[in-house]
Amino acid sequence: FHKQLTAVRELSKLLVRISDISLETDDAVGSARAKEADVHHTLRWLQDRGILEVILRSNFHHKQYVDQVANVMLFLVRMDALRDEHLENIWAVIEAPEQHDSVKTTTLGLLITLAWHLSDAQLNALFARLQAGGRRFVDPNELVKVLQLDADVQQDGHEFMKLLLGLLERAL
């Protein structure tokens, strides 16, 4: 575990550094292109080596590991590189029937962290997973009661997301 945590922590540091470098302003157009190329090269390197799939497969029972994974995923979001399969890999941790509740809790915490930064399409997919996941996770009628929503009034998606995420955060 410690080796994997160290590896994810170092990956997180690397991505922060690359992100900082890519955000620096420079007058030289060629230098800006080189910085952008570095970011894209790093993203391609992560994908080609299957690193993201590896870090999304294990150790979700350790909060400190999940926190480092969150940093990596937030980098992907900032670079517009978080793909549906990444979210599917995270969701698979929750759906695994043999998963302990503590793993599901830390994984839901990761999704809450990411949810504030996801695109509308990714949020819709996440809500669809919650709904399709059956009653094992969320009973929509209970959710309506808990959030004190008027079932006859259509809710604004953004406001609903804030209410739902607030509820999930209080539950954790």
Which H/E stretch holds residue 91?
helix 84-95
Whole-Å CA distances, 94 to 35, 99, 150: 37, 7, 29
Structure token pair of residue 74:
């937030």
Q: Is the pLDDT of residue 31 over 70?
A: no
The separation between CA 123 and the C-alpha centre of its own chain, rounded to angstroms, equals 11
Q: Is the pTM of this model over 0.85?
A: no
| pLDDT tens, position by position, 32-59 | 566 667 778 888 888 899 888 888 887 7
Whole-Å CA distances, 170 to 68, 105, 147, 154, 165: 22, 12, 12, 24, 9
Q: Tell me the residue type at 167.
A: L
